């Protein structure tokens, strides 16, 4: 009993230390982050938008904002999704596709989109494999990380320790910077 309690306290202390300390560029709380300026990890996941899976390669020629989030219908995740939805016309004007990714099911995503009026796809990473590939996995859910991928499939920006209330504005600002450099 004492050993189990000690192990639990030690694990909690380690977790708190990781949460409270800044994430390094190479290794965030959810594991190794994919390197910037290299091909983004490919994926193909079911979505709330139809029968076929959505793949990163479907968006070649467009910028992609892939944002990972913990759970449909929770306060932070709802706020983050609402902000992306409110700014969706700005993303469209920047030739950018927003994709939300979590471990929730396609059915949960469909209900969440209906409830919040979301007009962008939510992808179901039910086994966490894509979250792991992006360093956004803290079992049993995805962390709140976001990635900007250019029209050639190259990872250009990573956001960890995201604050939902201002995040979409941060992403738009970074997208402006990246698109200005690319022009």
| Residue range 115-125, pLDDT digits in tens | 999 999 999 99
The answer as to whether 14 is a domain residue is: yes
Query: CB-based burial of residue 3 (10 Å sphere; 0-12 exposed, 13-18 middle, 19+ buried)?
Result: exposed
Are 23 and 31 in contact by the 8 Å Cβ rule? The answer is no
Domain count, the chain: 1
pLDDT of residue 83: 98
Query: What's the chain's length in residues?
Result: 183
Domain that holds residue 87: 2-18+28-182
Short-list 111, 98, 22, CA closest to 62: 98
Tokens describing residue 22: 């800044």
**pLDDT at position 24:** 37
User: What stretches of the chain show up as alpha helix (H) in DSSP?
Assistant: 2-20, 75-86, 88-93, 106-116, 129-133, 164-182
| Residue 98, domain member (yes or no) | yes
Residue 23 falls inside a structural domain: no
Q: Given the residues 28, 77, 101, 162, select the one marked as catalytic.
A: 77
Comparing 51 with 66, which gets the higher pLDDT? 66
CATH code for the domain in which residue 44 is found: 3.40.30.10
In tens, the pLDDT along 7-64 reads 343 333 333 434 443 433 444 577 899 999 999 999 999 999 887 899 999 999 999 9
Q: Residue 10 falls within a domain, yes or no?
A: yes
Q: Tell me if 60 is assigned to some domain.
A: yes
Report pTM: 0.84
Angle, CA of 24, 29 and 31, to the nearest 5°: 90
- Written as six digits, the tokens of 42 are 């490919």
Reply yes or no on whether 113 is catalytic: no
């Amino acid at each position: 009993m004492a050993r189990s309690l000690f192990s639990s306290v030690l694990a909690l202390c380690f977790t708190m230390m990781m949460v409270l300390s800044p994430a390094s560029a190479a290794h965030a709380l959810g594991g190794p982050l994919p390197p910037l300026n290299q091909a983004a990890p490919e994926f193909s996941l079911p979505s709330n938008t139809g029968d076929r899976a959505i793949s990163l390669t479907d968006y070649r020629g467009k910028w992609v904002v892939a944002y990972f989030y913990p759970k449909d219908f929770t306060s932070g995740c709802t706020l983050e999704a609402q902000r992306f939805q409110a700014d969706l016309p700005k993303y469209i004007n920047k030739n950018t596709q927003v994709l939300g990714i979590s471990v929730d099911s396609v059915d949960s995503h469909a209900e969440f989109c209906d409830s919040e009026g979301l007009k962008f796809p939510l992808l179901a990473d039910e086994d966490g494999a894509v979250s792991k590939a992006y360093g956004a996995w803290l079992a049993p859910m995805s962390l709140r990380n976001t990635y900007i991928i250019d029209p050639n499939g190259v990872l250009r920006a990573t956001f960890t320790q995201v604050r939902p209330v201002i995040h979409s504005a941060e992403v738009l600002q970074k997208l402006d910077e990246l698109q200005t450099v690319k022009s």
